[in-house]
């Protein structure tokens, strides 16, 4: 019995100890879960704070600016400082990703929710590549391909896309166009291959020539000859043209250059001069080659490549319409009704000033209210612009003095106009109009121009440029010009979004160019005016490439090899084969696609303006109603009952009755409105 009692007591003690340990583990789990819940809640509050995205957007901008400072041959102190800032920015960007994942749940469960968003996918990819680049360069920076991972930093500015809704809209339109652009690319590539194969069959091996024009065959291109250009004896060389059709790869590059319409003249001239393999070309020996280039330019450059613009324009218009009307399933009548309601809500009555009570303000008020006052000012503006347009370099002193006197007279007219309006309206009422602010700015600049006109400084010449801004006042008087100007104003927000995305692409390619071609030896096109040695010069060079201005020469100089140039592998100043995908992709993405989005924006807004004119209640009809209402307004924003009939008979349908309406019909119509008179 004693043994059993001892065994039972031991079992009870063991069970009590197990229960105590179990309760401890359970309480620890509860405490741990509570702490994680608090951390998750705090992380969610942080990422949901209004300054969270703004803070990291500012970090992205600062990081972008510091990246623009990097280049080959930096000072050690500068390079060390930029390396430290790189670690700091990487820490903050990694912290941002971590906070977002914790805010959506514990790491294992929050990651699927986090990575589901497209913007988070881009952020995570950029942070992951940054950490990979830092890790590899820290342990194996002496390896060449590891050092080249520095170019991965070029994609960091893409994180700005996740913070800007406007840029995401433009990028979304481009992304949704990828499927259609792939189809277009297949068709374009088919034509390129067909023309490329034909070019190889006709021109392969025939673009070679000797630098001595008197040589007729390759076997004669030996020895030396007297060069009349350099006035020296030089060795004869049998060389090939940079752009040729020796194989399909070279033919496709040559055809792409032709499709951009930049530098294709030299290729066509070489094709016109071909004779036979290993034979010296002769001028215009093969005139049929012109038909080859004519057919390719018409089919590909003028037609097929513009399909890219059409595809992006369609998607851009579709997405903008979806964002504005919230549905793409609306009928044309429903779209018209939605846009018309927006136009009506934006309309405001034109303010009519009541006659002033002060005696000294009545005369200025009667002058500016006269029907010939505004037309007279318009005539003065046109005269002022015409006088400035007659200036020339070799004019006599008498002509210059006469024009300055006329300009002083016009300036006095504009000063008098400004003074009369301020006296009649009061400065507060005068300043409430944006056009009056613009007029006041022009008058002030004209006064400054008169004060410094006797100086020949750059500041004085800059001030004189403000005289030309007077012609912008014609916009508010000419209805057609005003419509075009409004189209431009409406397009400005979209211009900003497209321009920001284009600038982002310029930055990425400039950074890549600095670290890929920054040490390349200079050549004929890669010179002091166009190179990738610094970020600023890279931006200017790419702007030149975007305008298709002699970019082929830059691509040639950036792809030089030791056998074709004075560069050496030891000095690391040779080019790279990557010049071909670098320049060709930039021309396709930026020059052919992104820059044409500006045209797409203008066309879309202009079409919208024209479509609005076909509405049953067009914006011009609404503006006509507002202007007619102003004629009967006594300054209180209302009209009398008698003026209501006159207003309805003056305004054409559908807002009014028109001039031919009888008085009886007008009275019955007014009664049907149930308007208290």
Do both 224 and 142 map to the same domain? no
Do both 413 and 511 map to the same domain? no
Do both 53 and 156 map to the same domain? yes
Do both 510 and 561 map to the same domain? yes
Mean pLDDT value across residues 218-224: 88
Asked whether residue 121 is domain-assigned, the answer is: yes
Do both 459 and 502 map to the same domain? no
- The CATH number covering residue 127 comes to 1.20.120.350
Q: Which of 7-16, 59-68, 127-136, 228-237 has the lowest mean pLDDT?
A: 7-16
From residue 636, give the alpha-carbon distance in Å to each of 19, 259, 632, 639, 676. 87, 64, 10, 8, 17
Do both 487 and 561 map to the same domain? yes
Mean pLDDT value across residues 423-447: 83
At which of 110, 129, 163 does a domain end?
A: 163
Do both 572 and 505 map to the same domain? yes
Provide the domain count of the chain.
4
Do both 146 and 238 map to the same domain? no
Give Cβ neighbours of residue 617 (< 8 Å, ≥ 6 apart). 340, 654, 655
Mean pLDDT value across residues 416-439: 85
Asked whether residue 169 is domain-assigned, the answer is: no
Q: Give the pLDDT score at 272.
A: 92
Q: Give the pLDDT score at 296.
A: 94
Q: Which of 16-25, 289-298, 633-642 has the lowest mean pLDDT?
A: 16-25
Do both 253 and 268 map to the same domain? yes
- Cα gap 654→620, rounded to integer Å: 12
Do both 85 and 156 map to the same domain? yes
Asked whether residue 96 is domain-assigned, the answer is: yes
**Average pLDDT of the chain, as a whole number:** 78
- Cα gap 416→422, rounded to integer Å: 10
Asked whether residue 350 is domain-assigned, the answer is: no
Mean pLDDT value across residues 152-161: 77
Q: ∠638-639-645 over CA atoms, to 5°?
A: 145
Do both 300 and 212 map to the same domain? yes
Q: Give the pLDDT score at 28.
A: 54
Q: Which among 331, 323, 473 has a CA at the least distance from the CA of 413?
A: 473
Asked whether residue 580 is domain-assigned, the answer is: yes
Element containing residue 623 per DSSP (H, E):
helix 619-632
From residue 116, give the alpha-carbon distance in Å to each of 49, 91, 440, 648. 21, 23, 54, 59
Q: Domain span at residue 387? A: 370-477
At which of 562, 594, 626 does a domain end?
A: 594
| pLDDT band with cut points at 50, 70 and 90 for residue 298 | very high
pLDDT digits (tens, 9 = 90+) for 308-339: 777 777 776 776 666 555 444 566 666 666 66
Global confidence as pTM: 0.74
Mean pLDDT value across residues 650-673: 72
Asked whether residue 577 is domain-assigned, the answer is: yes
Give Cβ neighbours of residue 465 (< 8 Å, ≥ 6 apart). none
- The CATH number covering residue 491 comes to 1.10.287.70
Q: Is the pLDDT of residue 90 over 70?
A: yes
Do both 548 and 500 map to the same domain? yes
Asked whether residue 130 is domain-assigned, the answer is: yes
Asked whether residue 612 is domain-assigned, the answer is: no
């Amino acid at each position: 019995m004693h043994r059993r009692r001892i065994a039972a007591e031991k079992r009870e003690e063991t069970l009590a100890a197990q229960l105590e340990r179990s309760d401890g583990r359970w309480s620890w789990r509860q405490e741990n879960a509570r702490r994680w819940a608090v951390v998750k809640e705090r992380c969610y509050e942080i990422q949901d704070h209004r300054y969270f995205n703004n803070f990291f957007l500012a970090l992205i901008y600062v990081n972008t600016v510091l990246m623009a400072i990097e280049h080959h041959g930096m000072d050690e102190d500068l390079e060390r400082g930029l390396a430290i800032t790189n670690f700091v920015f990487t820490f903050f960007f990694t912290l941002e990703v971590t906070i977002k994942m914790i805010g959506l749940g514990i790491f294992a469960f929050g990651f699927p929710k986090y990575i589901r968003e497209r913007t988070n996918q881009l952020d995570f990819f950029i942070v992951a590549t940054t950490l990979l680049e830092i890790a590899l360069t820290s342990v194996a920076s002496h390896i060449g391909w590891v050092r080249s991972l520095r170019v991965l930093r070029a994609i960091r500015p893409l994180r700005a896309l996740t913070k800007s809704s406007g840029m995401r809209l433009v990028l979304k339109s481009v992304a949704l166009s990828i499927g259609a652009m792939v189809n277009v690319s297949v068709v374009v590539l088919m034509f390129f291959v067909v023309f490329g194969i034909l070019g190889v069959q006709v021109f392969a091996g025939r673009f070679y020539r000797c630098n001595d024009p008197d040589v007729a065959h390759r076997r004669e291109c030996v020895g030396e000859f007297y060069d009349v250009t350099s006035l020296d004896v030089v060795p004869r060389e049998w060389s090939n043209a940079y752009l040729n059709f020796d194989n399909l790869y070279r033919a496709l590059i040559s055809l792409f250059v032709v499709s951009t319409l930049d530098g294709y003249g030299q290729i066509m001239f070489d094709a016109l001069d071909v004779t036979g393999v290993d034979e010296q070309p002769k001028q215009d020996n093969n005139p049929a080659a012109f038909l080859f280039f004519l057919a390719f330019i018409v089919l590909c450059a003028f037609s097929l490549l513009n399909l890219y613009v059409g595809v992006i324009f369609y998607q851009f218009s579709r997405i903008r319409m979806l964002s504005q009307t919230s549905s793409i399933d609306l009928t044309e009548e429903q779209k018209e009704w939605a846009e018309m309601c927006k136009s009506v809500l934006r309309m405001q009555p034109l303010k009519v000033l009541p006659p002033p009570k002060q005696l000294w303000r009545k005369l200025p008020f009667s002058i500016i209210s006269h029907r010939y006052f505004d037309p007279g000012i318009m005539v003065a503006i046109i005269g002022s612009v015409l006088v400035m347009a007659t200036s020339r370099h070799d004019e006599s002193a008498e002509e210059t003095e006469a024009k300055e006197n006329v300009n002083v007279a016009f300036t006095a007219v504009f000063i008098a106009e400004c003074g009369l309006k301020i006296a009649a309206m009061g400065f507060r009422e005068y300043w409430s109009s944006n056009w009056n602010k613009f007029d006041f700015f022009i008058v002030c600049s004209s006064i400054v121009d008169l004060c410094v006109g006797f100086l020949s400084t750059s500041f004085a010449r800059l001030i004189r440029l403000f005289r030309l801004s007077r012609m912008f006042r014609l916009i508010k008087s000419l209805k057609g010009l005003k419509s075009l100007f409004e189209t431009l104003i409406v397009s400005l927000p979209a211009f900003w979004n497209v321009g920001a995305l284009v600038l982002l692409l310029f930055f990425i390619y400039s950074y890549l160019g600095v670290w890929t071609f920054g040490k390349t030896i200079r050549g004929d096109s890669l010179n002091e005016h166009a190179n990738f040695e610094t970020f600023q010069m890279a931006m200017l060079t790419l702007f030149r490439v975007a305008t298709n201005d002699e970019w082929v020469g830059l691509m040639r100089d950036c792809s030089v090899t030791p056998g074709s140039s004075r560069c050496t592998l030891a000095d690391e100043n040779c080019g790279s084969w990557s010049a071909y995908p670098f320049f060709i992709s930039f021309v396709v993405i930026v020059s052919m696609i992104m820059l044409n989005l500006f045209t797409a924006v203008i066309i879309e807004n202009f079409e919208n303006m024209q479509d609005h004119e076909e509405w049953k209640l067009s914006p011009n009809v609404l503006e006509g109603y507002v202007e007619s209402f102003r004629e009967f307004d006594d300054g209180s924003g209302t009209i009398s009952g008698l003026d209501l009939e006159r207003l309805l008979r003056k305004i054409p349908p559908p807002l009014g009755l028109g001039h031919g309406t009888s008085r009886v019909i007008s009275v019955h119509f007014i009664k049907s409105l149930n308007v208290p008179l």
